[in-house]
Structure 1
């Protein structure tokens, strides 16, 4: 897993690299500029376009100056640099690159007041004003200049981080920084790129390597980690000779109701394709025909108002909630399972029941897994003003209750009993369809049944769920939950074979 760093930690990584590579800071800046330009040219290969580069007087501005020089050498001829002269201070590397730009005779103007920005007609803008490290909302000249740039409605590429964007920590309710089309970030993505509020600052981001010392970065003490494909490959193993259905565990899926049998079918299908040896769906009797017709491999345990799971220990995994309903009998069923002190996977309506009966949350068995979306999470643990606050609460609750909380979003946050937060990078907007949460619950159940730990089951399920959706999105505008379920086994096979 890739350790994600705060701005302060990234500056430390710069300094460590400069001291131990060894490499001069100006040369490291040149590497960063080259990496930026390589990414930029893949998107913007038409060198006849005009480019306006806004440079502050710190190292982010130094990056911008180096980028301007490299774009000139790569065939861009219509480049204009705007030096944002709102401070008397400048970094040493900025000064060195400014001298190089002067020698190149590139067009350059100073902006001493925001009102001096007039009649800008560039096709593209590169933002190298402040970069990362800002921890307060823009005010004064900087705010005025940024608003003027945003009003131009041009395609903006941000260097490392958009000006005015907090790299980590609670984001302001009203964002007043640069609104970038794309941010090209150095060595690591900013932690806040994974939070929904970041969509106000940048439509997309790309990370480029600049040869910072990786061993130093990986040793940093941080609570945020990005899951990589190599992590998944290490957790998956081929099936062995002489194994049988009992080898791969028995999962019980308690789901579905009169009008929501689809949720039970989807969860059961996903569990099946994730590899559980046996899958039993505990469903209302009205759904038996649908189950037997659609999923003949899945066994049924008919559910009525008197149903209690007499011997929960016979199952290696119990998942409850998709399409369940929140009536009194389902409350009693959930409560009886919690009292059995067996770890559970709890989703959807079972989460809503917990939200109404918070005393039950405290009784959850260690290594249980909760899979809430944002509204379900806030019903459980209270309203939150920001996603940063929400994730901090999830960390605290996972640690306190000794459970795993899978907080679902575009980038899902897997909060562990250790206090660590693992961020899943797979998945895409084409998957914004009903039933996707049911599929994820089923996949988690399939992996828990196969004796994966709660942590590893959550990691595997989130990554493979999103990866299946990513593959399907190449050829589909919309990806359905059923398509994802069917793709799961193939995705696992590909990952195991690498």
Structure 2
């Protein structure tokens, strides 16, 4: 897992690298500028375009000056550097790079106040005004300048972080910083890039390597981590000779209702393709024909208003909720399973029942897995006005209750009993279809049935669920839940074989 650092920790990583590589700070800045330019040129290879580079007087502005010099060396002729002279202070490395610009043929304009900028005719803008570390909304001259740039509706590339964007922490309700097309970030993405509010600041981001000391970075105490393919490969276990269906466990999927049998079928299908040795679907009597027709491998446990799971311990995994309904009978069923001291995978309507029964939340067994989307999470734990606060709540609840919370969004936040938050990077907007949550629940149950820990089951399921969607999205505009389910086993096979 890759450690995600705060802006202060990233500055420490810079200083450690400078001291121990060793490398001069101006040379590290040059390395960062080269990495930025290489990334930029992959997108913007037309050197006839005009580029305006806005540089503050700190190290972010120093990066911008170095970028200007390198773009000229790569054939860009029409470059203009705007020095944002709103502060008396300037960094040493900015001063060195400014002298290099003065000695070059690059055009330079000094902006002492926003009104100095009358027009902006460039095709592209590079934002190097303010770097990371900001924790207050822009005001005064900086706000006025940024609003002027935004109103020009130019294609903006931000250096490391858009001016006005917080690298971590709660973002302001109204974002008033640079609206970038793309942010090119150094060594690690900023934590806040993974929160939905970041869409107001940057349409996309890319991370470039600048050879900071990785051992130092990985040793830092952190709350947030990124899961990588190598992590998944280490956790997945190949099937061994002489194993049998009992080896891979028995999963019970309690799902579906008269009008929502699709949810039960999707969850059961995903559990099956993930590799549970036996899968039983606890469904309404009315769904038996659909189940037997579409999933003959899945056993049925007909559910009625009197259903109780007589021996829950016989199942290695029990998932409950997709398409279930929130009637009193299902509430009693959920309560009986919680009181049976069995870890569960709880999704959808079972989460909504918990939201109405907060007394049951405190009775959840350690290693229970909750899989809420944003509305379900807020029903469980109260309204939140920002994703930062929501994730902090999930982190606290997971630690206190000793459970795993899989908080779903474009990037899934897997909140562990240890207090760590793992961010899953796989997944594609093409997956924005009904039934995807049902599939994820089935995959988690499938891994739990195979006796993976709750933490590993959640990590594996989120990664494989998203990876299957990523691959299908290369061929399809929209990825359906049924298509994705059929891809699960292939993804596992590829990951184990690598």
1:5 aligns with: 5
Q: 1:84 corresponds to which residue?
A: 84
Aligned to 2:59: 59
Shift of 1:116: 1.2
How many Å apart are 1:238 and its aligned residue? 1.4
Q: Give, in angstroms, the shift of residue 428 of structure 1.
A: 1.1
What's 1:414 paired with? 414
Alignment of 1:259-278 (within 5 A): 259-278=259-278
Residue 428 (structure 2) pairs with residue 428 (structure 1): yes
- Residue 384 of structure 2 aligns to a residue whose secondary structure is coil
TM-score (norm 2): 1.00
Matches within 5 A, 1:317-356: 317-356=317-356
Give secondary structure in 2 for the equivalent of 1:42: helix
Kindly report which structure 2 residues correspond to 1:186-265, keeping only aligned pairs within 5 A, or say none.
186-265=186-265
Listed as ranges, the matches of 1:68-467 within 5 Å are 68-467=68-467
Map 1:9-28 → 2, pairs under 5 A: 9-28=9-28
CA-CA distance at 1:391 after TM superposition: 0.3
Once residues 35 and 287 of structure 1 are traced to their aligned partners in structure 2, the CA distance between those partners, rounded to angstroms, is 57
The aligned length equals 498
CA displacement, residues 224-261 of structure 1 (integer Å, 9 cap, x when unaligned): 00000100000012110111111000000000000000
> Matches of 1:163 and 1:219 in 2, distance apart?
29
CA distance in 1: counterparts of 2:116 and 2:439, whole angstroms? 55
Determine the structure 1 residue equivalent to 2:471. Answer: 471
The yes-or-no answer on 1:39 pairing with 2:32 is no
SS in 2 for 1:86: coil
Find the counterpart in structure 2 of residue 481 from structure 1: 481
CA distance in 1, matches of 2:463, 2:391: 19
Secondary structure of 1:189's aligned partner: coil
Deviations 1:79-111 (A, max 9, x none): 000000001110000000000111112000000
Q: How far apart in 2 are the matches of 1:274 and 1:335?
A: 27
Give the corresponding residue for 2:50: 50
**Alpha-carbon displacement from aligned partner over 1:27-69 (angstroms, at most 9, x marks no partner):** 0000000000000000000000000000000000000000000
Query: Matched residues in 1 for 2:62 and 2:362: separation?
Result: 53
Q: CA–CA distance in 2 between the matches of 1:41 and 1:421?
A: 34
Deviation at 1:141, TM superposition (A): 0.1
Structure 2: any 5+ residue segments left out of the alignment?
none
Cα offset for 1:117?
1.1
CA apart distance, 1:115: 1.1
Per-residue deviation, residues 456-495 of structure 1 (Å, max 9, x unmatched): 0000000000000000000111110111100000000111
| CA distance in 1 between partners of 2:290 and 2:55 (Å) | 63
How far residue 358 of structure 1 moved from its aligned partner, in angstroms, is 0.3
SS in 2 for 1:413: strand
Q: CA deviation at 1:304?
A: 0.3
User: Deviations for 1:351-382, whole angstroms, at most 9, x for unmatched residues?
Assistant: 00000000000001100000000000000000
Give how far 1:8 is off: 0.2
Displacement of 1:155: 0.4
SS in 1 for 2:103: helix
Once residues 337 and 33 of structure 1 are traced to their aligned partners in structure 2, the CA distance between those partners, rounded to angstroms, is 57
Q: Distance in 2 between matches of 1:220 and 1:178?
A: 30
Query: What secondary structure sits across from 1:125 in the alignment?
Result: strand
Distance in 2 separating the partners of 1:219 and 1:39: 28
Ranges of 4+ aligned residues in structure 1 off by more than 6 Å? none
**Unmatched 5+ residue regions in structure 1?**
none
Q: How far apart are the structure 1 equivalents of 2:479 and 2:117?
A: 45
Q: Deviations over 1:145-186 (max 9, x none)?
A: 000000000000000000000000000100000000000000
What displacement does 1:119 show?
2.1
| Residues in 1 aligned to 2:418 and 2:165: alpha-carbon distance in whole angstroms | 29
